Every structure is written in structure tokens, then in C-alpha cells.
Amino acid sequence: MIYTDAHCHIVAPAQDIAGRIYNSAWPDDWKYAVFVSDADDGVNFATIGIHPWHIARASAGFDSEMRDILSNHPNIMVGEIGLDKFHPDIDRQIEIFTTQLKIAAEFRRPVHLHCVGAWDKILHIFRVHAGAMPPAIVAHGFSGAPDLILQLAEKYNMYFSYSAPNNDNATTRIRQTPKNRILVESDAFDANPEVEILDSTIHAIAGLCGCDPDELSEQINDNFNGVLSYVRPIA
């Protein structure tokens, strides 16, 4: 099996990985994103963004810095951005998220989304900006209501990225997600557990869906390429 990792925090050589998306969390990470973009190895892809846990690190000019990097690096995406109700200052989170969502739409880059307990607010923001949305969205570690999945997929070209499903809710979500929308992720900060996490996730999902793990893995890799088609697909 050859794996794709839709969401991680690793910049490393390939090792059984056909594609991975390194997610920035704050501006100090953006130099790694630029490094990945410049290396252009066809396996490692990267995002720039400010995670909702790290909004305090947003400088006054963070948006123009993002625009500069995106205009010089056509294969960099936007992430990890979003809202998290368990972290402080939701109003400032909304402000920073909305700014970054608009930048992603302006540069036609996929968004890598972190949303915990704030789908009502995210949906409101999406509705307000429905006329100018990014071309695709990856909902990382999707934990929203299962009955949102189909409309999010259709309206916002959303993909749903999962890691080892471990409760009834996760099972329901996975069963409700169309096969052509499923991604898997390690969310790893270290290369060691990456392949094991991806492998066990694919086998768990295949078990839940009653499908063949190898076929599922190929579908997941196609889906991964669907996201990357807006920047550059893997070989």
C-alpha cells in the first residue's frame, strides 16, 4: 500500500508516502512551507496559516505576508485555519479565520480547516462568503454532525480527513461520508508513527464500510489528488 497523509506537521523525506500535506500552525512555520514549496519534490506539499490556538501570534501585517508568499509560491495552500470553541477569544479567532479564508479564495488555494465545536459559526461565515469561497476545503479530523457531510461536500467541495476512528460518532461520520470525499491523516509531528497511523486508519475505515483496504487506499489517494489539483497533483 502506498499512503497519502492529508494533514500532518512533518517536513521529512518520503518513506512509503506518495503525498503529504505539511500544515503550518503559526508564522514561524511558514519558512518550512516555503522550503517544501521550493524543494518541489512532488511528495511534500505545504500550507501557510494561523491556527485558532495561536491567534496571539498574528502580527499586524500577517495578511500581507501571506499574500506575498502565496503569490510567489503557486503550490502553497492555506491552513491550518479555523475555529475552536475550547480556546480563548472566539471573536478574534473569527476575524483571523475570515481574513485567511478570503485570502485563500483570492488566490484559489484549498483550505485546511480546524473546527472544534464551532460548526454553526463556520457555516455562518461560509454562507456570508458563499460567492467567493476557496476551491476546496479539507476538514481535518472532522468532528461535526454527520448530517452536515453531504451538504458541505456539495456546496463547498469539502473533503473529510480522518484518523483512527475510535467511537460511535466517528463510525457514523465515516459511514455517511461518500468514498470520493474520504481522506486520512496522521496529524503527526514526528515521522515515526505516520505510516502506522495511516495504515490502521485505512483498515479501520475499510472495516466500517465493508470495502477492500487496497481499493479504499487507491480511492483515498485519488481524493488527495483532487485536493492537490488546484496546486499540483502528485506524480
Q: Which of 180, 120, 114, 122 is nearest to 153 (CA)?
A: 180
**Stretch of 63-71, 181-189, 201-209, 212-220 contacting Zn ion, by CB under 5 A:** 181-189
Beta strands in the chain (DSSP E): 3-8, 17-22, 44-48, 76-84, 111-116, 137-140, 158-162, 182-184
CB of 53 to Zn ion, least distance (A): 10
Considering the complex, state which of residue 189 and residue 214 has its C-beta at the smaller distance from Zn ion. Answer: 189
> Count of residues for the chain?
235
Q: According to the binding rule CB under 5 A, does residue 5 interact with Zn ion? A: no
Considering the complex, state which of residue 143 and residue 207 has its C-beta at the smaller distance from Zn ion. Answer: 143
Considering the complex, state which of residue 29 and residue 187 has its C-beta at the smaller distance from Zn ion. Answer: 187
Considering the complex, state which of residue 5 and residue 187 has its C-beta at the smaller distance from Zn ion. Answer: 187
**Stretch of 27-35, 90-98, 152-160, 183-191 contacting Zn ion, by CB under 5 A:** 183-191
CB of 131 to Zn ion, least distance (A): 29
Eight-state DSSP code of residue 117: S
Footprint of Zn ion on 37-76 (CB under 5 A): none
Asked if 100 and 81 touch (Cβ cutoff 8 Å), the reply is yes
**Stretch of 61-69, 120-128, 179-187, 217-225 contacting Zn ion, by CB under 5 A:** 179-187
CB of 139 to Zn ion, least distance (A): 12
Q: Which of 234, 205, 222 is nearest to 21 (CA)?
A: 234
Beta strands in 23-164 (DSSP E): 44-48, 76-84, 111-116, 137-140, 158-162
Q: According to the binding rule CB under 5 A, does residue 194 interact with Zn ion? A: no
How many amino acids of this chain bind Zn ion (CB under 5 A)?
1
Q: Phi and psi (nearest 5°) for 15? A: 50, 85
CB of 214 to Zn ion, least distance (A): 27
Q: According to the binding rule CB under 5 A, does residue 187 interact with Zn ion? A: yes
161 DSSP β-pair partners = 140, 183
Binding site for Zn ion (CB under 5 A): 187
